[in-house]
């Protein structure tokens, strides 16, 4: 698989990365740890060099899993993790709020290094903007971590354009991570133009619409207990029924190209900008291989025009996140 540079930073990652969040929960109970270690190493065997985790996933258990899985190949991969939620570093207890005080950021970095079994974090994202801490102070704390060699690159997740500009002025931002797919095209209005202007890479999470664009979900699908999609308005049965029209768009192209809807959805993302590196997640080897097959799928100008024309006729129903989480984005 080819590598892509995240903006002007020089950080090279595989064109398709691996989002590891779901390995330890979120979509229900976590998967078998040994199997997930094998899957993570198997992803690298197939060309993936970009792995995404966070202290909040678990908390802590996902970083521990990723650290164990990647330890034998540490120098061959890029590990991204995140700080920014108010999580007790001893107990893992959450307050439900954010915490990006500089002293907390530095403590999170040290704890993450231990869990990841490494001496540096390649890409350290602020998970959500903390309205109680000036972003300049956040960027300054990460700048100090970079100077100390504990962190290599600074990232922001779900941040608004003005926050990105202010942070970038203190410490260059290597990448911004936000949701982006045919299921959610919000970044196209302001975010993508700003990132192109500033020379910042873009890492779309949920590039398959939390699984919806695979075509394996419909209004009758029953999600497991504990699956976060049970709380997402976009995944109500009524919304799913209406949103099947978007699946029809990618399926139409997939049938013609002898590909899968997931591959078309990922190939569409890759075709948007050369500095975009999506991070689809999975717990199944055959899904991993299917996703990586998107890199080999060439969408012609005609294919892309057809997708855009048909998708523009569809108004996706339902908010993409629960109300409480939606309030934490775009600041």
Spell out, as residue ranges, where the chain has pLDDT lower than 50: none
pLDDT in tens, 215-235: 999 999 999 999 999 999 999
Considering the chain, what percentage of its residues have pLDDT values greater than 90? 97
Catalytic pick among 27, 57, 125, 180: 57
CATH superfamily of 3-326: NADP-dependent oxidoreductase domain (3.20.20.100)
In this predicted structure, what is the pLDDT of residue 27?
85
Structure-token pair, residue 222: 């029953």
Model confidence pLDDT, tens digit, residues 18-64: 999 999 988 888 899 999 999 999 999 999 999 999 999 999 999 99
Measured between its terminal Cα atoms, the distance across the chain in Å is: 35
| Cβ contact 210:21 at 8 Å | no
SS (H, E, C) the chain: CCEEECECCCCEEECCCEECHHHHCCECCCCCHHHHHHHHHHHHHCCCCEEECCCCCCCCHHHHHHHHHHHHHHHHCEEEEEECEEECCCCCCEEEEECCCHHHHHHHHHHHHHHHCCCCEEEEEECCCCCCCCHHHHHHHHHHHHHCCCEEEEEEECCCHHHHHHHHHHCCEEEEEEECECCECHHHCCHHHHHHHHCEEEEEECCCCCCHHHCCCCCCCCCCCCEHHHHCHHHCHHHHHHHHHHHHHHHHHHHHHCCCHHHHHHHHHHHHCCCECCCCECCCHHHHHHHHHHHHCCCCHHHHHHHHHHHCCCCCCCCCCCHHHHCCCCC
Structure tokens, 322:
């629960």
Question: Using omega within 30 degrees of 0 as the cis cutoff, is the peptide bond preceding 290 cis?
Answer: no
**180 flagged as catalytic:** no
Instruction: List the chain domain ranges.
Output: 3-326
Q: Which candidate, 105, 75, 40, 112, places its Cα nearest to that of 282?
A: 40
- Residue 25's pLDDT is 85
What's the gap between Cα 188 and its chain centre? 16
Residue-level pLDDT at 115: 98
What's the confidence (pLDDT) of residue 28? 81
């Amino acid at each position: 698989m080819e590598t892509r540079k995240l903006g002007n930073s020089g950080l090279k990652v595989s064109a398709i990365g691996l989002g590891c969040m779901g390995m330890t929960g979120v979509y229900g109970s976590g998967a078998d740890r040994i199997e997930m270690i094998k899957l993570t190493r198997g992803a690298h065997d197939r060309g993936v060099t970009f792995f995404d985790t966070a202290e909040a996933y678990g908390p802590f258990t996902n970083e521990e899993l990723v650290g164990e899985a990647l330890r034998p190949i540490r120098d061959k991969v890029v590990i991204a993790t995140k700080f920014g939620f108010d999580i007790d570093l001893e107990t893992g207890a959450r307050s439900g709020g954010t915490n990006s005080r500089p002293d907390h950021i530095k403590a999170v970095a040290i704890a993450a290094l231990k869990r990841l079994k490494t001496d540096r974090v390649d890409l350290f994202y602020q998970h959500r903007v903390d309205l109680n801490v000036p972003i300049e102070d956040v960027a300054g704390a990460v700048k100090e971590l970079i100077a100390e060699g504990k962190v290599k690159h600074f990232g922001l997740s779900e941040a608004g354009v003005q926050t990105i500009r202010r942070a970038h002025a203190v410490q260059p931002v290597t990448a911004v991570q936000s949701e982006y797919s045919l299921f959610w095209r919000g970044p196209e209005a302001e975010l993508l133009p700003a990132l192109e202007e500033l020379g910042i890479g873009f890492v779309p999470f949920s590039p398959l619409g939390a699984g919806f664009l695979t075509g394996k979900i419909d209004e009758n699908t029953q999600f497991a207990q504990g699956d976060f999609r049970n709380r997402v308005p976009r995944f109500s049965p009524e919304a799913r029924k209406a949103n099947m029209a978007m699946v029809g768009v990618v399926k139409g192209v997939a049938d013609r190209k002898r590909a899968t809807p997931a591959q078309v959805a990922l190939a569409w993302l890759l075709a948007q900008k050369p500095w975009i590196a999506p991070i689809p997640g999975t717990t199944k080897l055959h899904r991993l291989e299917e996703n990586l097959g998107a890199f080999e799928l060439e969408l012609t100008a005609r294919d892309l025009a057809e997708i855009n024309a048909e998708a523009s006729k569809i108004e996706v129903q339902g908010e993409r996140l629960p109300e409480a989480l939606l309030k934490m984005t775009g600041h």
